[in-house]
Amino acid sequence: MTDLSPPPEPVRRSARTSALPWIVGLGLAAVVGALLFVGGYLAGGSGSASGCTAPDDSFAAFCEAYDRLQDEYVDDLDPEKLAEGAIRGMFQYGVEDPYSGYMPPEQYQQALGDLSGAFGGIGAEMAVSNTEDPADLAACTEFTSTCRLVVVAPLDESPAEKAGLQAGDFVLAVDGESVNGSAMNDEITKIRGEPGTDVTLTIERDGREPFDVTITRDEIVLQEVETRLIDDHVGYIGLNGFSAPASEQFAAGLQELLDQGADRIVFDLRDNPGGYIDAAQQIASQFVNDGLIFTQESADNDVKRYESTGEGIATDPELPLVVLVNGGSASASEIVAAALQERGRATLVGEPTFGKNTVQVWGRLENDGGVRITISRWFTPEHNSVAPDGVQPDIDAARADDTPPEVDPVLDAALEFLADQTVADDEGSPRPSESPSARWELPAVVGIVAPRPIC
């Protein structure tokens, strides 16, 4: 996902914009979630008694079917559902592009909030936990008595934290309605809302009697960047998404690591589903001083070149850089990973990336829903396409199914590689890295499904 225009308004602002942001790959789940049933085209007009006007002869059969439904169907019909079904079907069966599609109003607003980096909510990271078989995450397609909605952690200084929500809390109901039978996106949408309004969560904690927690929503600003110093000199920086504030947050986090004495960098793009194009350009430019980052090419052979901004703070080739990738690294993540690899600036460690090289334009519809339409493709500096095979890592590493959650073999492989690199210290002499010691302090949650759902 990616935007060439100013970022969309946060959800808390009711103002709507007609600007069409250029976007590459939102979350992988949102890409397929909006594609459903039916086919056709519905337009107001006076071409028939029902008001269905065919834009050309090929739509005559659709209007005929619409007229017959209106005249003959035994029960009352909802015109809005008919119209929404026609839009969905037009994309699913007419376009046959998994990245173009229709988003109903609630989903569109949630997606805009994720991209803008700000939305109305309580400020808590949620997940799914399979309490019966923690390793069997595939079984948790919806919430049940064993596939449960759990709080990973409240964000610092958030309404959720102030209300006393804790890591490991199970959410049984939202505003009195059980979560069972619903999916993660359904509950995230319910918990989010206008700042200043209340939402009540029914909580189970440590097996005790459930209780209600009422939380007043506020504006939540996503923190896309995670940093820490490993062995006092290896800087780790993880990026969760390419939303509107991502590039500024990334620059600040990277600068902090350098100020703390980091002489090697691990840049984690695993499970990063993408975001704005300009964020990808700016973040890649932190490590590449000049030259091409990627190109964007439209159907009419119009080519737009995205060069380094020349404002990077870690462009010194003597600063070793490793980028971590996997099959969840998509779109804007692949732009950055491919650019750093092909420009000779980074070594990639992990698994092949997702393999998406298309660009979508987003736009709001009259019903406050939205559409995604593929309008171009992007290519690496050497004019390679990442579709369908993805960006290939230089060093293969992966987490096995039986790997304990506190162990990160991909990060360990990166640190092992960096241990063999030499860098100049403040006096100009090289020194080797210390041995790897990369173990995370993880929340008390096992079996997480979906990338960082924040409400």
CATH number at residue 264: 3.90.226.10
Average pLDDT of the chain to the nearest whole number: 84
pLDDT at 4: 37
Residue 389 domain boundaries: 225-360+377-424
- Could you report the per-residue pLDDT of 169-221, keeping only the tens digit for each? 999 999 999 999 998 888 998 999 999 999 999 999 999 999 999 999 999 99
The reply to whether the predicted model has a pTM over 0.85 is no
Band (pLDDT 50/70/90 cuts) for residue 33 is: very low
272 within 8 A of 283, measured Cβ to Cβ: no
pLDDT at 425: 54
CA dihedral 260, 231, 237, 33 (to 10 degrees): -160
CATH of the domain at 175: 2.30.42.10
Residue 143 lies in a domain: yes
Give the residue, 249 or 49, on which the prediction is more confident: 249
Domain termination site, one of 157, 187, 221: 221
Distances (CA, A) of 43 to 50, 53, 68, 218: 10, 6, 16, 39
Residue 58 above 70 pLDDT? Answer: yes
Residue 329 lies in a domain: yes
pLDDT at 96: 82
Residue 180 lies in a domain: yes
Tally Cβ neighbours within 10 Å of residue 326.
23
Mean pLDDT of 259-263: 97
pLDDT at 390: 97
DSSP H helices, 226-359, are 246-259, 277-284, 332-342
Same domain, 232 and 349: yes
Same domain, 234 and 186: no
Residue 40 lies in a domain: no
- Could you report the per-residue pLDDT of 100-124, keeping only the tens digit for each? 999 999 888 888 888 888 999 999 9
Classified as helix, coil or strand, 108 is: helix
236 within 8 A of 385, measured Cβ to Cβ: no
388 within 8 A of 334, measured Cβ to Cβ: no
Residue 34 above 70 pLDDT? Answer: no
Q: For residue 18, give every residue at least 6 positions away whose Cβ sits within 8 Å of its Cβ, in sequence order, or none.
A: 363, 364
Residue 7 above 80 pLDDT? Answer: no
Catalytic residue (one of 116, 247, 308, 356)? 356
Looking up tokens 């290896």, which residue turns up?
234
Catalytic residue (one of 331, 333, 376, 433)? 331
DSSP element (H, E) containing 28: helix 28-33
How far, in Å, CA of 336 to CA of 281, rounded? 7
The share of the chain scoring above pLDDT 70, in percent, equals 82
Residue 288 above 80 pLDDT? Answer: yes
Same domain, 190 and 259: no
- Could you report the per-residue pLDDT of 418-438, keeping only the tens digit for each? 999 876 554 443 333 343 333
Give the residue, 447 or 414, on which the prediction is more confident: 414
How far, in Å, CA of 398 to CA of 167, rounded? 27
Number of domains in the chain: 2
How far, in Å, CA of 455 to CA of 442, rounded? 20
Residue 145 above 90 pLDDT? Answer: yes
Active site (annotated) includes residue 331 = yes
Same domain, 158 and 253: no
Same domain, 278 and 408: yes
